[in-house]
Structure 1
Amino acid sequence: MITTHQKKQNQVMNPHDHNFKNLFLDFPKEALAWLFPEAEQNWGQVINVEFVRQEPKKHSLSDKSLELDMPILFHFEHQQLLLWLVEFQEDKGKFSIYKLLRYTTDLMEAYPQALVIPTVLFTDEKRWRKSVLQHLHTQLNDRLFLHFEYVFHKLFDLNARDYYNINNPVVKILLPKMRYKKEERIDVIRQAYTGLYQLVSSGLFDKYVDFIDTYAGIGELEQQELYNEIVQHKDTAMLSEYIRNKGIEQGIEQGIIQKAKKDIIDILRLRFGKVPHKIVETINRTDDLEILDSYFKQVVQINGIDQLRFF
């Protein structure tokens, strides 16, 4: 949800991989439909989903990089078993195709009746000068000894605007991790909010709008701009009403007020050193944004703290 400044200050975020694991735990079918659509095209609808909790075998005591892997076992209506091995990588430098191969063969041994499909989702938001290794191949003349590849996805290679009309909650949640122009940023986040609101329950919306906020890095001023965008669009009328009912509009304003107070006091300390306690108290008691704005203009112009005039 669009959170207040104070809530964001106190919020303790889960590690990156746990956030993405939770996303796939809540939306396994939707994730599969988007990232590996061939499954349902070939084997029909998913009739059951199991999350494989076993830890991968350690091939050395220092092997920790496989903690990001999450196997999901899908049962399809045409009797096919698919073991979908998903790895989330924010840092491509930590990815190893050789470790992924070992984990894949471990799962093939543990689930001989299932088709194991390894998939890697790279989530970093930057262009790569050099890609990662995407397949292994060993062959002598016509004799093939080994061929291994995985399903490769890089979010930042996707243009967010191309996915506005995809009715999939996983896609909506991950829109801010895709590529977009700077001037499209607020619209991308609004599309993520509104699309998610239309597709999931209020509980899941509240949960994953925080995910969107976190990975989009939304600041207090952007929160207000985003809320204004939501209010102004007819297609987001229900969402704006939901936000009002949750008291979020007030939370946004309070966050901006708290930020303004902090900025004024910080500038005073930076320019003049110690700030008298009475001045700090007066600023902190002020909740009018127009008055705080006038204080801000004063503190960047005055030559001495005694020149500050309060209303």
Structure 2
Amino acid sequence: MSHDQNFKNLILDYPRQAIEFAAASEAARLGDDVRILPLREEQLKERLGERFRELDVPLLLEWPDGHRQALLFVFEEETEPGRFSIHRLIHYCVDIAELYQTERVVPVVIFLHPGHFRESLSLGSDTRVYLHFSYLAWPLFGLKARDYFDSPNLVARLNLPNMHYAPEEKVEVYAQAVRGLRTLEPDRERQIKYLDFVDIYANLDENERQHYQQDYAEEIETMSAFADRFI
């Protein structure tokens, strides 16, 4: 399973909501007129023989009236925190900043599974620090699912199964994710597409699926896009 591809699709389909969920402090200042554009994932190489670096999801934010300089968001998905390299992320950010000739870059890292990860890096000597780097960490495993049951943010609702919850809450977490998809996404094709996302990360067993059918039977009947899953 490619978690990278799953989250790449999610962020590209819902870029504004992904930013609002993962980078709330930055999202608060964006305004309604911002335009969000995906960039090429593979960065240009200076020489043909060099190895390229690929970004999970680089996004360019622009303001049509030009009252603010463009802003770059660099989203990276890291399934296992132990495999995360802050040095690699620094390379990504510096490369894309140089390519687009900007110093306005916001790096965001999505951590799917529990684990420890380095949040900053400082390079220097006993005299001074010459380089300090940090990023916005998005550790889904550390968020309490129940805190987001009523969230109007679809990205948050779809990720409920990736958050923390007690084992006995699993079916309810799944139900709240599906309800969010039904109520917040009007497009039928996207409903079907992201029901797959919820199914993958909830991973209900047969008993849990039967439990869902029994407890949420009336709701299932109203969801024609989902009904086939439970027949």
TM-score by length of 1: 0.66
- Return the alpha-carbon distance in structure 2 between the equivalents of residues 122 and 241 of structure 1: 34
Give the C-alpha shift of residue 58 in structure 1.
Answer: 7.0
Counterpart in the other structure of 2:82: 93
RMSD value, Cα: 2.5
Counterpart in the other structure of 1:33: 20
Cα 1:58–1:156 change in 2 (3 A) is farther
Tell me whether 1:180 sits opposite 2:165 in the alignment. Answer: yes
Quick one: which of 179, 197, 213 aligns to 2:199? 213
Counterpart in the other structure of 2:107: 118
Give the C-alpha shift of residue 32 in structure 1.
Answer: 0.5
Counterpart in the other structure of 1:82: 71
Q: Structure 1: which 5+ residue stretches go unaligned?
A: 1-13, 254-311
Q: Give yes or no for contact 2:41–2:55 (8 Å, CA) kept in 1.
A: no
Counterpart in the other structure of 2:36: 49
Q: Structure 2: which 5+ residue stretches go unaligned?
A: none
One-letter code of the match for 1:242? M
Tell me whether 1:102 sits opposite 2:118 in the alignment. Answer: no
Counterpart in the other structure of 1:241: 222
One-letter code of the match for 1:199? L
- Return the alpha-carbon distance in structure 1 between the equivalents of residues 118 and 221 of structure 2: 45
Residue-pair matches, total: 226
One-letter code of the match for 2:223? Y
TM-score by length of 2: 0.87
Quick one: which of 108, 116, 123 aligns to 1:138? 123
Alignment map for 1:1-311 (pairs within 5 Å): 15-56=2-43, 67=54, 69-76=56-63, 78-113=67-102, 115-124=104-113, 126=114, 128=115, 131-140=116-125, 143-201=128-186, 202-231=188-217, 236=219, 240-243=221-224, 247-248=227-228, 252-253=230-231
Q: Give yes or no for contact 2:109–2:137 (8 Å, CA) kept in 1.
A: yes
Higher relative helix content: 1
Q: Give yes or no for contact 1:57–1:103 (8 Å, CA) kept in 2.
A: no
Runs of 4+ in structure 1 off by over 6 angstroms are 61-64
One-letter code of the match for 1:223? R
Give the C-alpha shift of residue 37 in structure 1.
Answer: 1.9
Identity of aligned residues (%): 33
- Return the alpha-carbon distance in structure 2 between the equivalents of residues 15 and 231 of structure 1: 32
Larger radius of gyration: 1
Specify the SS of the correspondent of 2:159: helix
One-letter code of the match for 2:95? D
Q: Kindly provide the CA deviation profile for residues 87-106 of structure 1, in whole angstroms up to 9, marking residues without a partner as x.
A: 00112232110011011000
